[in-house]
Structure 1
Amino acid sequence: MHKIFSSRARSLNGAVAAAILAVCAGVAAPSARANDVIVLNSAEATLSLIDQATHQVVGTIPTGKEPHHLMATPDNKSLIVANSVSNDLMFVDPKTGKVQSRVEGIEDPYQLGFSPDKKWFVTTGLRLDRLDVYHYDAATNGLTLAKRLPLATMPSHMAFTKDGRTVFVTLQVSGEVAAVDLPTQTVLWKMPVGKTPAGLWFTPKEKYLLVGMTGEDDVAVIDWRSRAVVKRIKTGEGAHNFRSLDDGRHVLVSNRLANTISIIDEESLTNVGDIAGLLPGPDDMELTADKRYLWVTFRFAKHVGVIDMATKKLVQTIKVGRSPHGIYFYDRAPITAPNGA
């Protein structure tokens, strides 16, 4: 097995290097506060640091090419930025965005995730039609490649079962969802779900698996145990990614082409309302700790938006870089992200 370690020693003062690069690029150096919001600008190979209180961009630092998704390590001491075209992972300080280290040789990491049991680290290779599965060593943040699993076509988003044994993956071009057994790194099954499936989300107790149908205008409801689509919830064109409302009952789905966000009742499996009046391309979302505001990246508008959840209105936009995608709040850092970002 090929072994790769996220050693801080390999970076040789990554924070200093990032500061030098920032100066050379003519961008602001990152702040040292712990309340900043981190946003990935996929088309500019940068991340923006936004002060959560003032909504001001306080820093911009380089990443690798096409950073799309990000997530915290299980100990929350590092934030991993997946640079899909640079074929590497960049570990940054989740409080400040400063670079800690880089791990090379991670090919095409479009989406990434840790299994809830912390045994596995998985990346989807969107352009390589592959799923890469690594053994994860929590003590060292070490990654040991277990298998590179062909998985056509265009594997995209992921969702893990709570026991950490199975990961579900959407295949955008073939219009399928695949179930992969992690202990054996084998494909258990594939099933067709529709045009361009993307984000995945489990309803409570893992009863159903929801799939954002980016090539359609709905969310597919899958009984994954019987491998059947049991319902389609009409949302808006380009249904893409999910974010829980943290109330035990509702989940949001961003509709990238309709420029809306739909609110889905996870019990009745119905759309109970839409948030409209948004900028083009709503994608990834995050709630503030008090649940009062929803932040959303607008992939096609170079902005991040702030939505007042009491009125369901967009109250502010913040200019960032081109094609903003992943978003992260330090004060909402998850131990794992079983449903993807």
Structure 2
Amino acid sequence: MVLKRKFYTVSALICGSLIWGEFLISCKSKKVIEEPVPVVETDYPKAYVVNGGSNTISIVDLNELSVKNIIQLTEIGRFPHHINMSADGKKLAVATPEYDFTLGHTALHNATDKKGGIAVIDTKTGGTLLKMALPNVNFNAVFSADGSEIWSASATHSGEMFIYDATNGVLKTKVALGADPSEVVFSKDGKYAFVALGESSFVYVLNTQTKAIIKTIKVDAFPTNVWAGADDKIYVENKVALTINIIDPKTLSVVEYLDVNFAPGQMAYNQTLNELWICQAAQNKVAYFERKNNLWSLKGTIITGDDAHAITFSKDMKRAFIVNQRGNTVSVIDASTHTKTKDISVGSQPNGIVLKE
């Protein structure tokens, strides 16, 4: 896989239209000048942003807050969705469904002919290490805690969990789940995998050693996703009920509830501030809540970019990075002041982010 930086002449800009990673030129006499950049990435703190519309991963320099390189994923599959990094920071896992999730999860029911997939990318070179095919569309692909396995669930009415060897891509086993599983996340200790079943009222818990379903946890009806918090809690996103259920992996039970007045999206917990930040799905805002006296209360909202879709905090919890799917940007937020400091332009329809610091 080749990484290239492209420069454009002024005359070409007049005649063409710019899309991420390419330049479409209508005037034959105009030239696009390509200048290769080193394939091997140097060591600097970075963010990897996966762009579903342009089939790319933008590599953002976290010191300069600008895109340094682009990994092209065109040969891997269409509509890359969500991104995960192995614990050693050497590999990225990206889901490669044939379905465009910007069309909505409801339309997925009519996309029964679409397949899923997983791509494993070398963080140093941008090269593709492995490609695995799934029979149906999948939301994400995630490394196990020890990096030996990759887990992904097929999002159908008879969904299954697929578990692959992360070294050679061989399917180790699959587990029958149920209707419409979505995101797969792990507890911090790596003992359990959690997945919400969208056509139910349950989150399923799998033992990562035995690969068996050990518990079904009752949550609000039609849970849309689960997210792992830095506080080792599992946060259940309920876009239909407009609620959050909070699961404690130690007891494998719901310990708290949170009502919101918007459709919740991806969320992240800031341990330093004791705040839960929640993307307001299809909006340009992130809401942040504080826990006091065993209750969560809304503290405020932050204007980000169009369609705040994914969120992560820096290791020191001082900055938040919000992926804006329709805005094609990543908003950088000062966590202590709750103010936006910059918007970084990335690829088309970004939908996931992971940091390597």
Shared fold per TM-score greater than 0.5: yes
- Matched with 1:294 is 320
1:277 aligns with 2:290: no
| CA spacing shift, 1:256–1:248, aligned 2, 3 Å | same
Q: Which has the higher contact order (CA 8 A, sep 6+)?
A: 1
Q: Deviation digits for residues 74-104 of structure 1, max 9, x if unmatched?
A: 33222222322374433334256x2242323
1:116 aligns with 2:145: yes
Offset of residue 290 of structure 1: 4.3
Offset of residue 182 of structure 1: 3.3
Opposite residue 278 of structure 1, the aligned amino acid is T
- Matched with 2:221 is 194
Q: Distance in 2 between matches of 1:184 and 1:210?
A: 24
| CA spacing shift, 1:74–1:28, aligned 2, 3 Å | farther
Opposite residue 157 of structure 1, the aligned amino acid is E
Q: Distance in 2 between matches of 1:273 and 1:318?
A: 26
- Matched with 1:105 is 133
Offset of residue 211 of structure 1: 1.1
- Matched with 1:43 is 53
Identity of aligned residues (%): 18
Q: Distance in 1 between matches of 2:21 and 2:206?
A: 44
> Is contact 1:234-1:271 (8 Å) kept?
no
> Is contact 2:194-2:226 (8 Å) kept?
no
Offset of residue 222 of structure 1: 3.9
Q: Equivalent residues in 2 for 1:185-264 (5 A)? A: 185-190=211-216, 191-201=218-228, 204=231, 209-222=234-247, 229=254, 231-247=256-272, 249-258=274-283, 259-264=285-290
- Matched with 1:83 is 96
Q: Deviation digits for residues 242-270 of structure 1, max 9, x if unmatched?
A: 32324384443222145323234398341
| CA spacing shift, 1:89–1:19, aligned 2, 3 Å | farther
Offset of residue 192 of structure 1: 4.2
Opposite residue 133 of structure 1, the aligned amino acid is I
Opposite residue 330 of structure 1, the aligned amino acid is K
Question: Which of 317, 322, 328 is matched with 2:348 structurally?
Answer: 322
Aligned residues: 309
Q: Distance in 2 between matches of 1:24 and 1:293?
A: 27
In the alignment, structure 1 segments of 5+ residues that lack a partner are 1-14, 332-341
> Is contact 1:48-1:321 (8 Å) kept?
yes
Q: Deviation digits for residues 285-324 of structure 1, max 9, x if unmatched?
A: 2223443321110123222111122320122222222321
Q: Deviation digits for residues 62-82 of structure 1, max 9, x if unmatched?
A: 213111122222332222223
What TM-score does the superposition give when structure 1 sets the normalisation length? Answer: 0.75
Offset of residue 28 of structure 1: 7.8
Q: Deviation digits for residues 221-248 of structure 1, max 9, x if unmatched?
A: 3467877655421344121223232438
Opposite residue 197 of structure 1, the aligned amino acid is T
Offset of residue 142 of structure 1: 3.4
- Matched with 1:58 is 68
| CA spacing shift, 1:286–1:162, aligned 2, 3 Å | closer
Larger Cα-atom Rg: 2
- Matched with 1:94 is 123
Offset of residue 325 of structure 1: 1.0
What TM-score does the superposition give when structure 2 sets the normalisation length? Answer: 0.72
- Matched with 1:3 is none
Opposite residue 184 of structure 2, the aligned amino acid is M
